[in-house]
Amino acid sequence: MVSPVELRLAQVDDAEAIRQIYNAEVTTSTVTFDIVPRSLDDQRRYLSDRRGAHAVIVATDRDTVVGYGALSPWRSKPAYATSVEDSVYVHPAHHGQGIGSILLAELVRVATAHGFHAIFARIVGGHAASIRLHEALGFEIVGTEREVGRKFGRWLDVVVMELLIPTRMPAATPGLRPDDPAPRPPRG
């Protein structure tokens, strides 16, 4: 069943709703490697840090935030600037209703519109829902980091998934648009 949610850019005022959704996973699951719940100030800072191309999108159901998705820098060194990492979190009461897919599809659109080339997801090993969510949108597994994390007394793998967005090179020739088809070779 696909839930009739609306999407909008997150506001700093969404911090409390977002941190409730996130902290439930911090304290009960291994899907995030955070172990200390976010304070309201932490969450406000997170939202303030993600502006413009590094967007946070919320999904709302009758004005209640039921999930969010974010694009974060992949690495700090400058040559990584064309890559981003996605995060998608849906309130447990709304899992399995297509909301994660709606959010991730929107993040892919935002990343494409801003000219990013690669989107990564880092997913705890065995997290079938998140792996399937990403596969359904074209992400592929590009590696597994074995036993890189430890939470609740267990070693945790991280499955790295990647979606490459075709890069559209701007035309160097005046008057030639990037969408123009390549010329056909002459016949004969």
Q: What is the x/- site pattern for ligand COA, positions 43-82, by CB under 6 A?
A: ----------------------------------------
Q: How many residues in the shown chain lie near ligand COA by CB under 6 A?
A: 21
47 φ/ψ sector (left φ>0, alpha ψ -120 to 50, else beta): alpha
Residue span binding ligand COA (CB under 6 A) among the ranges 9-17, 83-91, 139-147, 165-173: 83-91
- By the rule CB under 6 A, 138 interacts with ligand COA: no
Which is nearest to 86 in space by CA: 4, 167, 165?
165
Beta bridge partners of 57: 9, 69
- By the rule CB under 6 A, 142 interacts with ligand COA: no
- By the rule CB under 6 A, 149 interacts with ligand COA: no
Sheet with 140-151, side-by-side order of all strands: 6-9, 56-61, 64-73, 83-90, 118-124, 154-164, 140-151
- By the rule CB under 6 A, 90 interacts with ligand COA: yes
* Residue 43 vs residues 31, 48, 100: alpha-carbon distances, Å: 18, 9, 20
- By the rule CB under 6 A, 12 interacts with ligand COA: no
Q: Out of 18, 56, 70, 133, which residue is the one contacting ligand COA (CB under 6 A)?
A: 133
- By the rule CB under 6 A, 36 interacts with ligand COA: no
Which is nearest to 91 in space by CA: 43, 19, 33, 152?
19
- By the rule CB under 6 A, 123 interacts with ligand COA: yes
- By the rule CB under 6 A, 128 interacts with ligand COA: yes
CB 168 within 8 A of CB 117: no
